[in-house]
Amino acid sequence: MKKMPKRYVGKNIFKVDAQDKVTGKAQYSDDIYFDDMLYLKIKRATYPHAYLRRIDISKAQKIPGVVKIITAADIPEVKNFGLIIKDQPVLIGIGRKMRYMGDALAIVIAESKEIASKAVKLIEVEVEKLEVISDPLRAMEKDAPLIHQDSNILATHYLEKGDVKKGFTQADVIVENEYKTSFLDQVPLQIEAGIGVFDPETEIIKLWAATQWLHDTQADVAQSLGLPKEKIRIIQPVIGGAFGKKEDISVHIHLALAAIATKRPVKFSYTREESMIAQSKRHPFIIQMKTGVTKKGYLTACQVEVIGDTGAYASSGLAVVHKGMYHCTGPYNVDNVKGVAHTVYTNNTYCGAMRGFGATQMAFAYESQMDILSHKLEIDPVQFRLQNAYNHGSSTPNGQILTHSVGVKETIKEAADMTGWKEGR
Amino acid sequence: MKKQGRGMATIMFGFGYGEGFPDHSIASVEIEDSGKILIRTAAADVGQGVLTVITQIAAEVLKVKPEIIRIIPGDTHLTKSSGSTSATRQTFFTGNAVKEASEGLLSNIYHYASIEFRSNHVELEIKDGYIFRNDNPNYRLSYWELADKVKERGDSLKAEASFFPHTDKPDPKTGQGEKLYVAYTFVTQIVDVEVDTDTGVVEILNVYTAADIGKAINPKNVEGQIEGGTVQGIGMALMEEQVIKEGITLNPNLTGYLIPTSMDTPRFVTRLVENEDSEGPFGAKGIGEPATIATTPAIANAIYDAIGVRIYHLPITPEKILKALKEKRKNK
Amino acid sequence: MSKLTIGFIINGQKKIIETTPFTRLLDLIRDDLHLTGTKEGCGKGECGACTVIMNGELVASCLILALQADGAVITTIEGIGSGGHLDPIQKAFVETGAVQCGFCTPGMILAAKKLLEENPYPTEEEIKRGISGNLCRCTGYQKIFDAIKLAANRLSTRDGGRGEKDA
Ligand code: FES
Ligand code: FES
C-alpha cells in the first residue's frame, strides 16, 4: 500500500521541550521554591526485618527549627499504598514490622534541610530483630518466617501451550541452563523530589512531584489519606528521567501529610543514597531454562522456571515476573511451552518496574540458549534465528496470533546486512 | 591478549499493560484564543519525547506548523488520565488518542466551515490553519476566526478522544489468551566486543541495530531511544549491580554502583524497519523498552565468541571473566 | 550558625551574599540565587549535574563550599545563553537530539563549553574524554558527541577557522 507523504510525521522535528532544557529554564520538582518553605526528611528503618518496639522523638523535637515530627501514632487513619497490592505502610507504627531498610518510621519537618537531617539522627529507636531473609530461595522454604501475613510467595503464574513432553521427545538436542540477573537501579539522573502545599480554602493538597502516571499516583495518595481524589492535585513538573523508578510513590504521601500538618509549603528531596535504598529496583531473576531443537535447527520445546525477588513490597512485581515468563521463547515459533513464575517477598529493597519489565531479564536467558544451540548444531546464528522467527500468523507463548506488523525477520536480515554478516564470521 | 568477538540477539516485546487490564489514554485538542492549538494530556514526558510525538501527530492531522501546538503541563485537575509512561505505550496510546482527537477537531472545523461558507464538505480545502472554498481561495477563515464564529453559535472548536484497545486476561492455569498485548516490537542487535584476556575488561566496539518499530514518528528520537537503551544494556551486561547483602545495600552511590560513562559508548549503526502495519498512529509502535533488551544477551554471546567462555550470572565483570578463563585453561 | 559575607561575580553580575561556613556552593546557587539550571544528581562529585565554571575551571559545585567562591567568577548554564540568545553549543544540543530528560544537559553544556575553549577542534575520542565526568542516563552519549562536533564546526567556521559549513 502506498502511503501519502507526510509533512511532520516521520520528520526530525526538534524536541518541543529542548529549548527550556538547554537554557536551564525547565523546572524540575526540586527547582520550585516557595517563601516560608519547610524541609522534610525521613527517619528510615534501622534493621531490615524487625518489630518496632519504641520510638523516641523527644531529643529531636527539642532542636530549634524543628517544626513537626509525625509518627504512625499521629496518623492512625492513614492506609497502606502500593501499585497493585496495598502492602506498603506510610509509616511503621509501634508493634509493627519494618521489612526493608527503606521503610519510613518518622517524618521530620524543619526550617532547613540541615536541621531536619540533624533531627533525624536524634530519633531513638528500639527494635526486636527477626531473621533477615535476603535470599528468595530461603524465603520459599516452609520454615522461613513470613514477611507479610501470608506466604512469602506473593504469586505464582503458569504458562502452558502444546505439550512440552512431546516437544522434548521430538528434539534431537536439548540444553538446560540456569541464568541469574542482579538488582539494578534505574538511576534516572534526577533524584526523587517534590513540594506539597495545603490550600486551607479549598482543602486541596497540591503536589509538585514527578510521576510516570499522574492520575494513578493521585488515586493512591488519596486512598491512603482517605480523601476524595479531587482533594489531591498533582502537577507534573519536568521529569529528569524515570525508567520505571517513578512509577512508585516516593515523596508524595509524606509530603501531603507534612503539608496538612504544618499548613506551610514543604519540600522533600531524597539523596541519591536514599533513592537507591528506598525506591524500586529491577528484579533479580533466577531462570531455569530448557530448550529443545531438532537436528535441522527447529525449536520444539521450551520449559522455564522463574523466581523473581520482589523484595519487601509487591510494587509491580507480580506483573513484572510473569511478563518475563510470557516472553520466554523470544520471537520464535515454539509449539510446546511450559512455564512457572514465582514472585517472592524478601527483606531486600522492593523491586518494581524498570525498562523491559521482566522481558529484559528473560531475553538474557533465551538468547543465550539460542547462541548455545547454534554452536551445538553448527548452524549459523543468523540462519538459525531466521528459520525459527515469527511470521504473520505465528503464535506467541500465550497463544496470541500475530496479525499485524511482524517485522522480526526483516530486523534479522537488516542487522546481518549492516555487518556484512557472511564474511563477518 | 585482546580478542574480538561478535554476538547477536533478537528480541520481542509485547507492549501496553495488556492482559485485560483497562488500558487507555484520553486526550483533547482545542482551538485556543491565543492563536495556538492546545492539547490536553496527562502523558508524562520523562525525556523520551512523547510531547514531541503528539505535537507532530496533531500538526500532521490539523495541517498546521508544529510551533502552533501547545501542550498543557500535566495536571490532575486540568487533564484526564493518559495512563502511565511505561510499558512502551505512550506513542501508541496517547499518540492514537491525540490523532483521533485531532481528527475530531478537523471534522468540526469542516462542519462549521461548511455552514459559514454555505458549501458541502468536498468543496472545502484546508491549508496552514486556514479553511476556504476551492472555488474562492481568497475568501478564507483561519481556525481562530472560525472558532470565534462557532462561539457565537454557542459551541466551541474542540474534540476529545480516547484510545482504549481491548486485551484478554490470560487463563490463570495456562497463560493462554487471544490477545495478550496490543502489539509487539522486534529488535535485532549485533555487537562487536574486544575482551582483554589479561584484565578481563570488555570493550564494546560496534552495535548494529535493526528495530521494527512500525513507523518512526521522529526517526532521530527513535535513534536516541535505541542508543540510550543500548548503553543501559551495556551497563546491565558488564557493570551494574546493586549489591544487597542481608537486606543492606552495600553500594548506594554512583561510585559503588557504576553506570556507563561517555567512555563506554560504542559506535552505533541503526536501521529502522518501517512496515507501517501496526494499529498505532500512522502505523507506529513503541520503542522505549525494547531498545534495551537485546543488548545484554548480544554482548554475552559476543564475549563467548571472543574467548569461548559463557557467563550465566550478570553482570559479566572482569573478575568473572578471568575466573572463567582460568577454569577453561584448567579443564583443557 | 555563624554567618559570613562573601562576594563574587556570577553570570556577569556582582553578588554580595550572606552564607554559612557549611553551605555548599550548589545550595548557594540554587537555594539563595534560585539559579536552578544547576542540578544535583548525587551530591558527591560523581555525576556532573552540578557542574559550573569557576575561575575558568569546571567544578562540581556540590563539592565546593560557598566560602571558596569568595572573589570568584562563576558561570552557570543561565550565563551561557537564554531565550532568544542561545549559545551555539546549546543550539547544537537542541538540533542533534542530545537532550532527552535534560537533567544532565546544563552540566554537559558547561563541560562542552570548557572543552571547546581549550580544544576547538576535538576528535570524537577527545570529546568522549572531555565529558567523561558528566553522567547521562538517557542518551547513550552519542547525540551529545554529535552536538559538540556540530558546535565545534560552527564555532570554527565563525572564527574563520578550518571548520565545515553549517550542517
Ligand atoms: S551533584 Fe555534584 S557531581 Fe553529582
Ligand atoms: S538527558 Fe537525561 S540524563 Fe542526560
C49 Cα to the center of ligand 2, angstroms: 10
Clarify whether residues C105 and C135 are in a common domain: yes
CB contact under 8 A, C44 and B223: no
Best of C99, C108, C109, C150 to disrupt the A interface (most A CBs within 10 Å) is C99
| B268 to chain A, closest Cα gap in Å | 11
Burial degree of A252 (CB within 10 A; 0-12, 13-18, 19+)? buried
User: Could you tell me where the DSSP H helices lie in B4-49?
Assistant: none
Report how many domains make up chain C.
2
Clarify whether residues A201 and A105 are in a common domain: yes
- Name the domain boundary from B163, B198, B223: B163
Clarify whether residues B92 and B206 are in a common domain: no
- Name the domain boundary from A222, A257, A278: A278
User: Which pLDDT belongs to residue C165?
Assistant: 40
Clarify whether residues A109 and A227 are in a common domain: yes
In-domain check, residue B173: no
Let me know: does C96 contact C36? Beta carbons within 8 Å: no
| B44 to chain C, closest Cα gap in Å | 11
Report how many domains make up chain B.
2
In-domain check, residue A51: yes
In-domain check, residue B169: no
Share of chain A above pLDDT 90, in %: 97
In-domain check, residue C69: yes
- Average pLDDT value for chain B: 97
Clarify whether residues A313 and A402 are in a common domain: yes
- Average pLDDT value for chain A: 97
CA distance C42 to A138: 34
Q: What does the pLDDT profile of chain B (332 residues) look like in tens digits?
A: 999 999 999 999 999 999 999 999 999 999 998 899 999 999 999 999 999 999 999 999 999 999 999 999 999 999 999 999 999 999 999 999 999 999 999 999 999 999 999 998 889 999 999 999 999 999 999 999 999 999 999 999 999 999 999 999 999 999 999 999 999 999 999 999 999 999 999 999 999 999 999 999 999 999 999 999 999 999 999 999 999 999 999 999 999 999 999 999 999 999 999 999 999 999 999 999 999 999 999 999 999 999 999 999 999 999 999 999 999 999 87
Cβ C78 under 6 angstroms from ligand 1: no
Please report the DSSP string for B203-235 in residue order: EEEEEEEEEE-S--SSHHHHHHHHHHHHHHHHH
In-domain check, residue C163: no
CA distances to A295, A302, B174, B275 from A162, rounded to whole Å, are 21, 10, 10, 31
Query: E strands, A22-85, where?
Result: 38-44, 50-56, 66-71
Clarify whether residues A266 and A288 are in a common domain: no
In-domain check, residue C110: yes
- Name the domain boundary from A247, A278, A309: A278
Beta bridge partners of A301: A292, A336
Clarify whether residues B299 and B188 are in a common domain: yes
In-domain check, residue C61: yes
pTM > 0.90: yes or no: yes
Cβ C48 under 6 angstroms from ligand 1: yes
How many residues are there in chain C?
A: 167
- Name the domain boundary from B103, B131, B163: B163
Chain B hits for C145, Cβ within 8 Å: 262, 265
- Name the domain boundary from C51, C78, C105: C78
Domain of C153, CATH number, reads 1.10.150.120
Q: Search chain B and give the residue with CA nearest C132.
A: B262
Quickly count: other Cβ atoms within 10 Å of residue C159's Cβ.
Answer: 10
- Name the domain boundary from C78, C102, C134: C78
In-domain check, residue B104: yes
Clarify whether residues B81 and B106 are in a common domain: yes
Query: Coil, helix or strand for A180?
Result: strand
The candidate with the shortest Cα–Cα distance to A283, out of A331, A316, A252, A236, is: A316
User: Which pLDDT belongs to residue A3?
Assistant: 65
CA distance A282 to A181: 9
Clarify whether residues B209 and B157 are in a common domain: no
User: Which pLDDT belongs to residue A423?
Assistant: 43
CA distance C25 to B290: 40
Clarify whether residues B91 and B205 are in a common domain: no
In-domain check, residue B207: yes
Clarify whether residues B135 and B62 are in a common domain: yes
CA distance B252 to B244: 9
Clarify whether residues B81 and B200 are in a common domain: no
Domain of A265, CATH number, reads 3.90.1170.50
The candidate with the shortest Cα–Cα distance to A253, out of A212, A211, A282, A283, is: A211
- Name the domain boundary from C60, C78, C96: C78
Chain B hits for A307, Cβ within 8 Å: none
Domain with C138 in it: 88-158
Domain of C27, CATH number, reads 3.10.20.30
C-alpha cell at A98: 519494618
Best of C100, C126, C131 to disrupt the B interface (most B CBs within 10 Å) is C100
C-alpha cell at A258: 507534612
Clarify whether residues A42 and A99 are in a common domain: yes
In-domain check, residue A10: no
Chain C hits for B229, Cβ within 8 Å: 140
Please give the backbone phi and psi of residue A389, each rounded to the nearest 5 degrees, phi first.
-70, 155
CB proximity A41 to B under 8 Å = no
In-domain check, residue B177: no
pLDDT tops 60 at residue C52: yes
Let me know: does A183 contact A281? Beta carbons within 8 Å: yes
Clarify whether residues A197 and A312 are in a common domain: no
Domain of A388, CATH number, reads 3.30.365.10
Strand order in the sheet with A285-293: A153-161, A336-345, A299-311, A285-293, A173-180
Cβ C141 under 6 angstroms from ligand 2: no
Domain with B100 in it: 25-163
In-domain check, residue A391: yes
Clarify whether residues A164 and A191 are in a common domain: no
Which of C24, C27, C30, C62 is the best mutation target for the ligand 1 pocket, counting ligand atoms within 8 Å of the beta carbon and taking the most? C62
In-domain check, residue A14: no
Clarify whether residues C67 and C29 are in a common domain: yes
Clarify whether residues A172 and A190 are in a common domain: no
Clarify whether residues A83 and A195 are in a common domain: yes
Clarify whether residues B148 and B190 are in a common domain: no
Clarify whether residues A271 and A252 are in a common domain: yes
Clarify whether residues B159 and B273 are in a common domain: no
DSSP-derived pairing of the beta strands B37-40 and B69-71: parallel
- Name the domain boundary from B130, B163, B196: B163
Per-residue pLDDT tens for A224-276?
Answer: 999 999 999 999 999 999 999 999 999 999 999 999 999 999 999 999 999 99
| B125 to chain C, closest Cα gap in Å | 33
In-domain check, residue B225: yes
Clarify whether residues C94 and C69 are in a common domain: no
Q: Which residues of B does the annotation mark as catalytic?
A: 289
In-domain check, residue C166: no
Q: What is the torsional sign of CA C2, C3, C4, C10?
A: positive
- ipTM, two decimals, is 0.97
Residue nearest to atom 4 of ligand 2 (CA): C136
Report how many domains make up chain A.
2
In-domain check, residue C74: yes
Clarify whether residues A332 and A310 are in a common domain: yes
In-domain check, residue C54: yes
Point out the ligand nearest to the CA of residue A26: 2
A214 Cα to the center of ligand 2, angstroms: 21
Domain of B274, CATH number, reads 3.30.365.10
Clarify whether residues A324 and A335 are in a common domain: yes
| C137 closest CB neighbour out of A238, A241, A269 | A241
In-domain check, residue B174: no
Domain with A148 in it: 136-184+281-418
Clarify whether residues B230 and B284 are in a common domain: yes
pLDDT tops 50 at residue C166: no
Clarify whether residues B151 and B224 are in a common domain: no
Let me know: does B290 contact B211? Beta carbons within 8 Å: yes
List chains adjacent to chain A, taking adjacency as at least 3 C-beta pairs closer than 8 Å.
Answer: B, C
Chain B hits for C137, Cβ within 8 Å: 228, 232, 259
Per-residue pLDDT tens for A371-406?
Answer: 999 999 999 999 999 999 999 999 999 999 999 999
A17 Cα to the center of ligand 2, angstroms: 13
pLDDT tops 60 at residue A37: yes
In-domain check, residue A19: no
Clarify whether residues B327 and B187 are in a common domain: yes
User: Atom of ligand 2 at shortest distance to CA of C101?
Assistant: 2
